[in-house]
Structure 1
Amino acid sequence: MKKVLAILCFTLTLSLAFPVAAASDLPKAHPFYDEINYLINRDVLRGYPDGTMRPDVGVTRAEAVIMIGRLKGFDSKQRATNFSDVPASHQASGYIAAAATAKLINGYPDGTYRPNNTITRAEMTFILSRLFVVPFRAGVSFTDISPNMPVYEPIQQILAANITIGYPDKTFRPNEKVTRGQFSAFLARGLEARFKNDATISQSYLRDKTKSYVYNTEYGTERHVYNYVPTRYGLEMGFVWSIYHDDGSLLTDTLELETHETYTFGLPYSESYMELMYPVKVGQAWYTDTEYSAPRVITKTKVTVKTAYQTFTNAVEVTVAPNPKFQEKGHVYYMVERFGEVKSVDFDGTVTKELIAIE
């Protein structure tokens, strides 16, 4: 048994201890090329001594924890752990012990960690949901995920954080194995705004998180900036859209997220509103039977809308019915793929919001 453990530890050492500047098996055409190189440059991910990265090989539970340990700056010194199959002699024991203490990982009911098992999407989701602060939860409607599953809430978190969007067939596939490249992509999206742009559905209405959006509104000029905010008013925040007045003062922080069913705009730790429901088609309606918001309906598609920024020819018109209970006079707003809401107009013709610049 000791000999087997020694071989496993040696193999792990080879696979994780040597950084590679340009892996021979990582072409620029690889879908996770940028994410992998981003993590290499941060010394979170390392390659093999033969000059390969093996991005399409499964990532083990030990390898995943070592990457997280490097990211968090954990002490890598080998030491005893509380897992029966991770002795102090194991190459990853220091990181595993530290990650367990930080409550980033859990073992199995039998007291094992199973470090050499390939990590699953569900196991990865638990780790990422503990690693990154997410002040919001997204609605989950994957066909293979139900609210009674332990992974349900962690999936809500990484959906809201634009770390994943699931598969086009609306499955999440929690038991599917994760490759080194896939794990790198998920980790990079949690760390860097530009990689979050990749976690979108086709025909997405989410805005580019690397740019600032400027609007004229009924309350003055607003600048929306996607940034990392550690805390605000004593609450952990993470990545949010911060809205600033023209004078630079903060108005509020907001969140924008999307699933295969809805585009939602909300406030951290507070309420949210569905701005669009999918599929986008005339007659699609929501908030028709709730006391929390005025009813909304898609009244036109492929609309031409002129804004100070540019004229759009593919806007979706959403009509909000008058409703005294919500002090709603009635208005229409226009949504455009990759731009979100570009204009809002009251029934009396007053423009209450208009995109004027993207920087």
Structure 2
Amino acid sequence: MGDTTEILVEDDDRTVLFNQDAFSGDDYVEQIRKQYPDLIILEKLGRGSYGAVYRCVKTDTGTGLQTGFAIKVVEITARSAEAENTIAKEGITPEIYCERKRDEAISEIRLLNELKSPHIVHINDFDVVEKKDEIGFIIFIKMDVLTPLSSLLKDCESYTKKDAEKIGRKLCADMCDALKVCESHKIIHRDIKPENIFYSRTENKIDFYLGDFGIARVLEETEVKMTAIGTVSYAAPEVFMLKNYDNRADFYSLGIVLYQVVNHGRLPFMPRYPQQTTVADSTNAQSMRLNPNAKLEAPDNASSKLAAVITKLCAFAPDNRYRTVEDILMGLNDGKAVIVVDGNDVPIKENIGLKVISLLLLLAATGAIGFQIFNSVKDMLNTL
């Protein structure tokens, strides 16, 4: 492949000519090629302080079929300011620092693999390679290729109320499915935002997936978190203000995302659509969002029921938000207890108990039962 500069690839039912020289000088690309010489790199999907994500394909030499996936490259180095501060403060060597960060990253990858939900981005495989030219490691993570919700937000401006409602409800249900699994593992995501929610779309269906658990941590039963991590526009006030927080911080961030989806792509406290907006409007909206006395108006492109759910999720005080995922789903479904199976809200009588609900949710999430089988079981349970 080293001598080949142009590659023909079947991409979305099109035969596309990719110029591989376009990636010349990209260190991560060269590292991917060295680690996986049989891959074709199509494009860079994103880049951050951690490294970068690339869309790739692999061609089966026997059948000629191509499989697409994403590779996330995570670089662990002792050269960052954070590394230098930690090394100096704790009196450890750069080698120990990098080994510790490597072990933490591997633990989080394995933890993510334990989160069995059809609405959580799963890691297919990963490899850890020690750097040869300096102290540190490179982690290559293989994942499915999905589209970030942020690319969908630009379309929200023109959505009819019916379309916005449909997408908003589906997004809420799918994220509740993901957060239910997080709850069971005592995990707070801490950075729910459009860039960390992904979707796949067919002609008649859209599914959403929660991803990028890079700053997620296990929440022990007796512990609360006090670090200001998360993206400012979506972080809960208590997170932004360095106060104690719990899983309700994730509910708040989800509420802000939902608000944007059913408010013509605009965040809370921004001028109503179709008014023009300015940078000053964004600054003012952020200030209002962090003001406990500011009254949040309902999003204007949703039903009163969905708007009420979103407004409660976005409450300034954590005690005024929903406490559990089940509470959110009941608010979304007229007070009925539900299970989300194959993307469908399935009402169940409350008298079967939350333990049974959790068990059935686990079975559905692991694929042990499907929606058709569940229908008959649900009918029986509703007679109890």
Normalising by structure 2, we get a TM-score of 0.27
Normalising by structure 1, we get a TM-score of 0.28
Higher strand share: 1
